[in-house]
Amino acid sequence: MHSKEQISHDEYQKTADWLMSQTTHRPQVAIICGSGLGMLADTLKCQEAFDYSDIPGFPQSTVQGHAGRLVFGELKGKTCVCMQGRFHMYEGHSLSKTTFPVRVFKLMGVETLIVTNAAGSLADGFHPGDIMIIKDHVNFPGLVGMHPLCGPNDDKFGPRFPAMSGCYDKDLRCLAMEIAKEQGVASVMREGVYAMVGGPNFETIAEARLLHRLGVDAVGMSTAPEVVVATHCGLRVFGLSLITNKVVKCYEDTESVNHDGVLEVGRLRSHTVQQLVTELIGRIEVNNNTK
Ligand SMILES: O=P(O)(O)O[C@@H]1C[C@H](O)[C@@H](CO)O1
């Protein structure tokens, strides 16, 4: 894997220009769908969709539950672009490729990024089916230099040393919690810290215990690089983790997690997640996209 592959500004621009030549939609909000959460795109009206394989420069999705389609459309008066399928480091993509669409969205005029993922819970009191608003993250690969911003900095996107202290927008987190209360789903809502690990294996019990002791509430294999790149280029970010399983922390526990189970919880909670994200997008303040 080339974790430090460099992608030039021109390459991002070419993809953005190609997409803008193929659709008249000018998105204000981008959504990245996590495992089993691709149905978020189904809510978009006046859809135009592109297979990743047809988009110049786009990587390909290889994971079950990640369709590999970029869907444009309207939702509650906002123009959106939705990734039905994301790219993970463990698929062998470089981190630049993993986060490639985020910079393309920026160049297309997107202002707000909504990231979703499936995650296992470590926090006591979190259960499968709960929806965690991401308050902050621990980017484990990033801490050891497997980081999408490694290499020469592209000043056109952002500064060499970006701050990450407020990377999950506080107002959007409050708004989402308010909406959840109005929709009568407050009892399944949580807020917490997401940690990204490299995957693709699920955690050992010792790893689970370590993460728990470190104060991690939910663990997954994505999202942090996308959020880092989005924050670097000035996008406002909101993140949700759907808790699909409890991470096994006891040697006596006979339960074990698998990807089909992860996807199944996505299906079961699809309606709730859709309702929440739809209403949030409806209430997000955006400017006109003049690209
Ligand atoms: O794309 P996300 O982070 O939602 O996918 C999670 C992590 C692994 O890719 C997979 C494990 O079931 O789901």
Ligand 1 binding pocket includes 117 (Cβ within 6 Å): yes
155-191 burial, b for 16+ CB within 10 Å, e for fewer? eebbeeebeeeebbbeebbebbbebbeeeebeebbbb
Residue 274's closest CA among 285, 282, 286? 282
Tell me if 115 sits within 8 A of 207, measured CB to CB: no
Nearest protein Cα to ligand 1, atom 9: 221
**Which pLDDT score, from 0 to 100, does residue 255 have?**
86
Helices (H), the chain: 9-22, 95-98, 100-107, 140-143, 170-182, 205-213, 224-232, 259-283
Question: With the C-alpha atoms ordered 130, 44, 105, 198, is the resulting torsion angle positive or negative?
Answer: positive
CA dihedral (10, 11, 17, 20) positive or negative:
negative
Query: In order along the chain (291 residues), what is the average pLDDT of each group of 10 residues?
Result: 76 98 98 94 96 96 90 97 97 97 98 98 97 98 97 97 98 98 98 98 98 98 98 98 97 91 94 96 94 91
| Cβ contacts of 286 within 8 Å, gap of 6 or more | 28, 29, 78, 111, 112
**Nearest protein CA to atom 8 of ligand 1, as residue:** 221
Of 75, 90, 70, the closest CA to residue 20 belongs to: 70
pLDDT for position 4: 64
Q: Which atom of ligand 1 is nearest to the CA of 34?
A: 4
Q: Is the CB of 265 under 6 A from ligand 1?
A: no
Task: Tell me, using a 6 A CB cutoff, whether residue 241 lines ligand 1.
Answer: no
- What distance in Å separates the CA atoms of residue 58 and residue 257, rounded to the nearest whole number? 31
Residue to substitute in 35, 61, 226 for testing ligand 1 pocket (most ligand atoms within 8 angstroms of CB): 35
- pTM reported for the whole predicted model: 0.97
Closest CA to 89 of 167, 196, 165, 17: 196
Q: How do residues 144-191 score in pLDDT, each as one tens digit?
A: 999 999 999 999 999 999 999 999 999 999 999 999 999 999 999 999
Residue 50 · residue 1 · CB < 8 Å: no
- How remote is the CA of residue 156 from the centroid of ligand 1, in Å? 31
Residues classed as catalytic:
35, 66, 88, 90-91, 118, 221-222, 245, 259
What does DSSP assign to residue 218?
Answer: E
